[in-house]
């Protein structure tokens, strides 16, 4: 369950680089192998959440509204849950299936939400190799040397 929750956490970011890391090739006799193109990031899932302060609501109380765009079916689906420990806990909301707790929800005192967007989670840079040195790069006026050897 912990591995699954960790994998879901990386769904909008670095998990998308796994195929490129797994197929990376060291420089050969003809220089570095051409890198495959990286497709636009994002899986099409996103969400919204809004909060309204008490000074702006008719009731005088704050409000939170969650609008997750996750599916209600498949691996990344949300499940509706109501957790009750009489006299200690009464929480209602949703969670990603297979993960503990209530990730979007409320109790009698507070409501909470989170958002998920298709924005960039990382930036890919192309480093220019120094001529004749396939494991060295030019960075501004300095050069950086790296090695895959321990």
Residue 140, pLDDT score: 56
Predicted TM-score (pTM) of the model is 0.56
Residue 122, pLDDT score: 63
Below-70 pLDDT ranges, the chain: 11-13, 31-46, 116-125, 139-150
Residue 147, pLDDT score: 46
Please report the beta strands in the chain, taking only residues with DSSP state E, as ranges in sequence order: 47-52, 63-68, 78-85, 89-96, 104-106, 111-112, 129-130, 133-139, 142-145
From 47, 59, 136, 147, the catalytic residue: 47
Known catalytic membership, residue 136 = no
Assess contact for 16 and 104: CB atoms under 8 A: no
Q: Which residue has the tokens 């990344």?
A: 76
């Amino acid at each position: 369950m912990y591995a699954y929750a960790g994998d879901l956490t990386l769904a909008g970011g670095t998990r998308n680089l796994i195929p490129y890391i797994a197929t990376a090739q060291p420089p050969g006799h003809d220089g570095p192998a051409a890198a495959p193109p990286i497709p636009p990031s994002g899986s099409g899932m996103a969400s919204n959440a809004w909060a309204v302060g008490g000074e702006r609501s008719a009731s005088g109380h704050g409000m939170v509204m969650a609008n997750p765009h996750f599916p209600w079916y498949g691996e990344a689906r949300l499940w509706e849950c109501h957790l009750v420990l009489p006299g200690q806990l009464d929480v209602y909301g949703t969670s990603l299936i297979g993960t503990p707790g209530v990730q979007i929800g409320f109790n009698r005192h507070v409501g909470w939400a989170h958002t998920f967007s298709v924005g960039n989670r990382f930036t890919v840079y192309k480093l220019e190799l120094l001529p004749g040195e396939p494991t060295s790069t030019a960075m501004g006026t300095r050069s950086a040397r790296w090695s895959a050897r321990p």
